[in-house]
Chain A
Amino acid sequence: MTELNFSRFGDGVVTDERDGYEGYLVSADKLIEFATTLRDEFEFDYLSSVTGVDYPEDSKLEVIYHAYKTIGGAELVFKVQVDRENPEVPSLIDIYPGADFQEREAWDLLGIKFTGHPDLRRILLWEGFEGHPLRKDWQEAYYEADIKPYKSRWPEAEYTRAEAKNPYGANVKYPDKFDPEKWVPEGEDMLYGSLAKYETTDKDGLKTDHLTVNLGPQHPSTHGVFRIAATLDGEKIMNLKPVMGYLHRNHEKIGERNTYLQNMPFTDRLDYLSSMSNNFGYAIAVEKLIGIEVPERAEYIRVIMAELTRIQNHLFAIGMFLNDIGAFFTPSLYAIEERELVLDIFEMVSGSRMMCNYFRFGGLARDLPAGSLQKIKDLVFDRLPRKTDEMDRFLSENEILRSRTVGQGYLSTEDAIKYAAAGPMLRASGVPYDIRRADPYSIYDRFDFDVAVRYNGDIYDRYIIRLDEIRESIKILQQAVEQIPEGEIQTGKPRYQMKVPKGESYGRVEGPKGELGFYLVSDGTGNPYRYHVRAPSFINLTAFGPMCKGLKVADVVAVLGSIDIVLGETDR
C-alpha cells in the first residue's frame, strides 16, 4: 500500500508506533475531518469494523476503525484514544452510516459515548443493565477469575454446581437504591420514541395516526429470537428498527477469559451453520499474531471445508428464505438433503456435524480420515452441481416467487457500501467485492473462480446470487480436491498453551454471510486481552430498516429472509 499523506492534520494524526500495532492514531477533534478525507479523497469508502478496547492502566479507552476500499486492497486502521472517565468520540454515522449498530454496540459494551449519534441506546444488553461489561473491571455473575484455566479445577478440586452459587447473592450487583420490584424499563419508550410517530390528516379531513407494531421476538420468520419494531401507515412500513440481543451471552468477554485455543470451539457457536468458516477467521487472526505458517495440505483442506460450508449455508439460506415467503417446507427440505451429505463429511472429518472445532493454529486438528476425500469428490463432481441446477429449475422462474421478490427490498449500490453490507448482500447490489479476491487470504489466489455479482439489488437477486456463489464454490472445490498434495497438516507440535507476542491483529475471511473479522489484542500472555468479532449477520442488519421503508408488512419477512441472519452471530 502506498503511504498516505496525512501531514495536513499535523499532530492530529500520527502513526501508531506501539510495538505490534499498526495504523494511525487520530485525535478525537480531528476525527470527522479525517474520516471525510479518507472517504472522499483516499477512496476508503467502506467502514467495515468499529470497536473499542479498554486500557485501564493508561486510563484510556480506544476506538478502532477498519476501513477498506471496495475496489480491493488491504485495510486502513485508525484509532481514537479518549479518557476513560469521560469517553466521548464524535460519531461517524454521517460519513459512514454503517457505523450505526457498531457504535451502539461499543456504547453498550464499553461505555464509549458517540456524540452526534441519533439513537445511542443499548443494543445487545437489556435496558436496565448496569455497567459496561467489556471494561476490564467489570465482573460477571459467577465470576471466578480473570483468566482460565481456573485454579479451582486442579489439583485439589471440589466439584460445585454453577447453580449453587446463588445468582441473587453476592455475584449480582444492583445500582444504589435500586428495587427490582418497582423498576420500569425506560428503553422501550426510547425505542418507540426513536421510531418517529406521525399524525396526518388525509384528504377527507380524517386524522390518521401511525401504528407501532412489534413483530417478534417470538415469531417463526425471525429464525430465532429477534424483534422488529415498526411504525405503520395502514399496511405500509414507515419506519423500522430491529431489536436484538435476546441470545446475547457476551462472547467477547468469555473470549478474554479463555486461552487462545479455548476460543476455537466457542467460535463454532457464533454462526452455528458455518462453524468451519468461523474457525478459519479466528485461526487466521491468531496466526497473524504469532507468525506461524500453515502447511500446504492443511491450507487445501481449510479451503475445501470453508467452501463446503458456504455451499451448505447457502442451501439452507435459500430453503429457509422460501419457507419465510410461504413455500412451506418443500424447497427447504429439498435444499437440506445435500446439506445433510456435507454435514456427514464434517462429522467424519471433525467429529461433529455443526460444532466442528477443526482448525488449529498452524494447521488442523487431524488429517482427512480414509475415504473422506472420495466422499467429497463424489459430492463436488456429481451431486452438488446437479442439485444446484435442480434448485435453479425448481425455483428461479417460478412466477409466484418472482412476483414476491423482483424489485422488492431494493438496496442501491451506494447504500450497500454506505451501510457496510457484506457478502451476498453487497454483491447482489452490484459491488463485486469478495475478500477472497479483494484481499486474498490462505491460498485463494491459486484458484480460478469468478466473483458472483448481480446488479438489481432486490430480494430476487439476493436469492439468485446464492445459487451463483454455490456454483463458484463448486468450481473452487473441484480444483482443490484435484490439486491437494500429501504432507503434514500441522506446523510444529500441537500446543494447548502458548505465549503470544504483544500486538494486535485483524483476521478476516469471506464467510458465507459476509466479511467475518476477528480483531485481537494480545498483551503477551496466553489469553487474549481483547477479542472482538465483526459479525456479518449483525452488521448486515444496519441496512434492514432503510430497505424496508415503504414496503408492506409481509415483505419485511421476505427482506429479512434474504439477508440471511443467524441469531447466534447477531447477538453473540
Chain B
Amino acid sequence: MYGLGLLKGLGVTVKRFINTYVDDFEWRGKRYYTDEGIAHRSSKDVKGIFTIQYPEEKLPVPEEFRYIPFLVYNEGEDGEIENRCTACGICAKVCPPQCIWIEREADPKTGRPVQNPSAFTIDADICMNCGLCAEFCPFDAIKMDHDYEIASYGRTVYHLEDLMKPASYYDEIRPINSAKEAEVRKIAEEAKAAKKAAREAKKAALAAKKAG
C-alpha cells in the first residue's frame, strides 16, 4: 500500500513523542536541574529529550577533558609559591601552533640562566587545545584546564600571573592523574635519595679508609 512507509516512519515519531513524556513522568520532576537527571540524560538508558539546559545545567566534564593550559605551582608551608616550571622549553618546542612564549630567568649577578621562567605567555586565541604541552612536560608543571567559559570580546592572552594555579586546584580537577603522577614523582625522588645516600655512604667509607 502506498503510504505505508510514511505511516511506519510517523509511528517512530509518535513513539518518541510519547516517550518524552513517559520519561518526564517517571522522573517526577527530578529529570531537570538535578545531578542524577543530568547523568541520566547522557546515559544509555535515556529516552526522550537529551538536551542539557545550559547554562542553568552543565554537563560534568570527564577528567581527561582539556582546555587552555595553565601552570601548576606547589604551595609551601607558609603559603609561598614554588613554581614547578623550570623554563626548560619543551612545551614551547612541542606546541603545534607555537602559541607559547617563554623567557628564562637570568641570575642578576652572573647573568647565567636560572631554572625559572621570568615571562610565560600563552596566546589562547592561537592555542588549539591539543594537550601536547601537558603530555610532554617532564615536571608536571603545565596542565590542561577544565574551565571552558572564557569567551570574551577581545583577544585572550595569558601571562605568567594569569596562568599560575595551585596544585590543589589541579588535584581537584584531575584526581586520578594527579595521584598517578605524585606516585611516579615519589618513586623518582626515593630513587634519587637512595642514590644520594649510597654516594654519601661510599664517600664516608672512603674517608674512613683514608683516615684509617
Q: Does B211 contact A (CB under 8 A)?
A: no
Known A265-B96, A265-B132; contact A352-B155, beta-carbon cutoff 8 A:
no
Q: Does A351 contact B (CB under 8 A)?
A: yes
Q: Does A116 contact B (CB under 8 A)?
A: no
Q: Does A14 contact B (CB under 8 A)?
A: no
Q: Does A344 contact B (CB under 8 A)?
A: yes
Q: Does A524 contact B (CB under 8 A)?
A: no
Distance in angstroms between the alpha carbons of A484 and B42 in the assembled complex? 25
- Point out the residues of chain B lying under 8 angstroms from A266, CB to CB: 96
Return the chain B residue nearest A395 by Cβ: B9
- Point out the residues of chain A lying under 8 angstroms from B93, CB to CB: 149, 153-154, 496-497
Q: Does B100 contact A (CB under 8 A)?
A: yes
Shortest CB distance A569–B (Å)? 17
In the complex, chain A residues 501-555 whose Cβ is within 8 Å of any chain B Cβ: none
Q: Quick one: CB contact mask for A244-272 with B, threshold 8 Å, 1 for yes?
A: 00000000000000110111111000000
Return the chain A residue nearest B134 by Cβ: A351
List the count of A-B residue pairs having beta carbons below 8 Å apart: 144
Cβ of B44 and Cβ of A378 under 8 Å apart? Answer: yes
Distance in angstroms between the alpha carbons of A337 and B136 in the assembled complex? 35
Cβ of A494 and Cβ of B136 under 8 Å apart? Answer: yes
* Contact pick for A398, options B5, B44, B119, CB 8 Å: B5
- Point out the residues of chain B lying under 8 angstroms from A357, CB to CB: 130-132
Interface residues on B, range: 35 or more
Cβ of B63 and Cβ of A369 under 8 Å apart? Answer: yes
Cβ of B42 and Cβ of A340 under 8 Å apart? Answer: yes
Distance in angstroms between the alpha carbons of A153 and B93 in the assembled complex? 8
- Point out the residues of chain A lying under 8 angstroms from B176, CB to CB: 369-370
Distance in angstroms between the alpha carbons of A400 and B42 in the assembled complex? 33
Shortest CB distance B65–A (Å)? 5
Q: Does B121 contact A (CB under 8 A)?
A: yes
Cβ of B135 and Cβ of A494 under 8 Å apart? Answer: yes
* Contact pick for A382, options B16, B44, B89, B119, CB 8 Å: B44
Return the chain A residue nearest B130 by Cβ: A265
* Contact pick for B102, options A154, A355, A390, CB 8 Å: A154
Shortest CB distance A201–B (Å)? 41
Cβ of A399 and Cβ of B3 under 8 Å apart? Answer: yes
Q: Which of B123, B130, B155 has the most CB of A within 10 A?
A: B130
Cβ of B94 and Cβ of A262 under 8 Å apart? Answer: yes
Cβ of B5 and Cβ of A149 under 8 Å apart? Answer: no
Q: Does B157 contact A (CB under 8 A)?
A: yes
Q: Quick one: CB contact mask for B102-126 with A, threshold 8 Å, 1 for yes?
A: 1110000000010000010101001
Q: Does A5 contact B (CB under 8 A)?
A: no
Known A347-B64, A366-B64; contact A157-B119, beta-carbon cutoff 8 A:
yes
Cβ of B5 and Cβ of A156 under 8 Å apart? Answer: no
Q: Does B6 contact A (CB under 8 A)?
A: yes
Distance in angstroms between the alpha carbons of A259 and B93 in the assembled complex? 10
Q: Quick one: CB contact mask for A140-170 with B, threshold 8 Å, 1 for yes?
A: 0000000011101111111101100000000
Cβ of A149 and Cβ of B126 under 8 Å apart? Answer: no
Cβ of B44 and Cβ of A393 under 8 Å apart? Answer: no
Cβ of B44 and Cβ of A496 under 8 Å apart? Answer: no
Cβ of B121 and Cβ of A157 under 8 Å apart? Answer: yes
Q: Does B207 contact A (CB under 8 A)?
A: no
Cβ of B64 and Cβ of A496 under 8 Å apart? Answer: no
Q: Does B55 contact A (CB under 8 A)?
A: no
Q: Quick one: CB contact mask for B160-180 with A, threshold 8 Å, 1 for yes?
A: 000000000000000010000
Q: Does A350 contact B (CB under 8 A)?
A: yes
In the complex, chain B residues 141-164 whose Cβ is within 8 Å of any chain A Cβ: 144, 155, 157
Distance in angstroms between the alpha carbons of A395 and B61 in the assembled complex? 34
Return the chain A residue nearest B50 by Cβ: A337
Return the chain B residue nearest A377 by Cβ: B44
Cβ of A397 and Cβ of B98 under 8 Å apart? Answer: no
Q: Does B208 contact A (CB under 8 A)?
A: no
Q: Does A303 contact B (CB under 8 A)?
A: no
Q: Does B198 contact A (CB under 8 A)?
A: no
Distance in angstroms between the alpha carbons of A350 and B144 in the assembled complex? 12
* Contact pick for A149, options B9, B50, B92, B128, CB 8 Å: B92
- Point out the residues of chain A lying under 8 angstroms from B102, CB to CB: 153-155, 157
Q: Does B129 contact A (CB under 8 A)?
A: yes
Q: Does A464 contact B (CB under 8 A)?
A: no
Cβ of A153 and Cβ of B6 under 8 Å apart? Answer: no
Distance in angstroms between the alpha carbons of A262 and B6 in the assembled complex? 50
Q: Does B101 contact A (CB under 8 A)?
A: yes
In the complex, chain A residues 308-355 whose Cβ is within 8 Å of any chain B Cβ: 330, 334, 337, 340-341, 344, 347-352, 355
* Contact pick for B104, options A154, A400, A497, CB 8 Å: A154
- Point out the residues of chain A lying under 8 angstroms from B11, CB to CB: 393
Shortest CB distance B56–A (Å)? 19
Known A156-B103, A337-B50; contact A496-B98, beta-carbon cutoff 8 A:
no
Cβ of A394 and Cβ of B136 under 8 Å apart? Answer: no
Return the chain B residue nearest A371 by Cβ: B62
Cβ of A496 and Cβ of B130 under 8 Å apart? Answer: no
Which 3 A-B residue pairs are closest in the complex by CB-CB distance? A397-B5, A265-B130, A154-B89
21 A-B pairs with CB atoms under 8 Å apart are: A148-B98, A153-B89, A153-B101, A155-B87, A161-B157, A261-B132, A262-B94, A262-B96, A265-B132, A340-B50, A349-B64, A352-B65, A357-B132, A369-B62, A369-B176, A375-B44, A393-B9, A397-B8, A399-B5, A400-B6, A497-B93
Question: Footprint of B on A, CB under 8 Å?
Answer: 148-150, 152-159, 161-162, 258-259, 261-266, 330, 334, 337, 340-341, 344, 347-352, 355, 357, 365-366, 369-370, 375, 378-379, 382-383, 390, 393-400, 402, 494, 496-497
8 more A-B residue pairs beyond the given contacts A344-B42, A496-B90, with a C-beta to C-beta distance below 8 A: A154-B101, A157-B92, A157-B119, A262-B95, A355-B129, A369-B63, A397-B5, A399-B6
